[in-house]
Structure 1
Amino acid sequence: MKYKKIIIEKNEYLKIEKLLNLNNEGNRSTVKSYISKLQEELKNAIILPQSEMPEDVIKLNSIVTVKAKDTFWEKTFELVLPSDNNNKENKVSLLLPMGAAILGYAKGDVILWDFPKGLQELKVLNVVQQSNKVKNN
């Protein structure tokens, strides 16, 4: 792991904590397990202001390319809030297993995560930031 711990931008951290607390009530047990694991990772995260965030760290709206170890599977997608999740547009919610697994990791990191199909090892191949993204709400 490049930075020893996951790194989260301060304002995103506050938004994610609120979202996790709201979503932890009444969700299916599988979803709760990912939320619980993400909450554990957030407890040990390095929290930084936007001005100090490394460019290669995965945060909300990052475009990420990951590859599964020992297979040819590779995927590029945008990490988004649950309300923006859209498979056709390759937008993955941070509350889904893949989104929860990658948040706060950096380019080059290898992530071991318990997905629905079992323990998987992913390598982060690339991270592109969309820092001034304009959203149509």
Structure 2
Amino acid sequence: MVERIPMSQSGYQQLKKELERLEKVERPDVVKAIEIARAHGDLKENAEYHAAKERQSLVEGRIMELRDKLGRAETIDCTKVTTRRAVFGTVITLMDMKTDEEVTYQLLGPEEADVQRGSISVLAPLGRSILGKAVGDEIVAKTPGGMREFEVINIQAGTAC
């Protein structure tokens, strides 16, 4: 059975755009760089050739990875999700029970998660502990800083997904 990867519609489009750039721009550029380096002669001691071949390997690897992820993507419209419970795409506001600080995260897929931009993966420990919770529920989550307790104080529909 194929493991699906949850992804917002905009996240899917970003990966698709990256794949297109790699296939139509990066790949041909690398092929040209290899041809130019080959023309310089002895390949054993040709640093340009080895650098171009390494770049080719990285580009081809990323292309394969993106094709796989896009093939397994399960796109979700974040604007049409329920706000009764924390689900993919919702924006969750939590109260840290120890510090009384509020934090807000949007629950997204692993490819889109970026804590600095206010989103966390539904597959990360904190994201998993939030899924299915309602306003007023308490959460105990394992974080890089140790075990932390939160209370869900708001759930709203995501935007720009």
Normalising by structure 1, we get a TM-score of 0.53
Indicate the structure (1 or 2) with the bigger Cα radius of gyration: 2
Report sequence identity in percent: 27
Change (3 A) 1:127 1:93: same
Residues of 2 paired with 1:122 and 1:19: CA distance? 27
Residue 63 (1) aligns with residue 91 (2)? yes
CA offsets per residue over residues 97-121 of structure 1, 9 Å max, x none? 2212201111110112232322221
- Displacement of 1:55: 2.9
Aligned length: 86
Structure 1 counterpart of 2:151, from 123, 126, 134: 123
Q: Taking structure 1 as reference, are residues 88 and 113 closer, same or farther at Cα in structure 2, changes over 3 Å only?
A: closer
The unaligned stretches of length 5 or more in structure 1 are: 1-14, 21-52
Is the aligned partner of 1:108 residue 2:136? yes
Larger displacement relative to structure 2 (109-118 or 60-69): 109-118
What does 1:27-106 correspond to in 2, within 5 Å?
A: 55-106=83-134
Deviation at 1:96, TM superposition (A): 2.0
C-alpha distance in 1 between matches for 2:82 and 2:89: 15
Task: Identify, as 1 or 2, the structure richer in helix.
Answer: 2
Gaps of 5+ in 2: 7-80
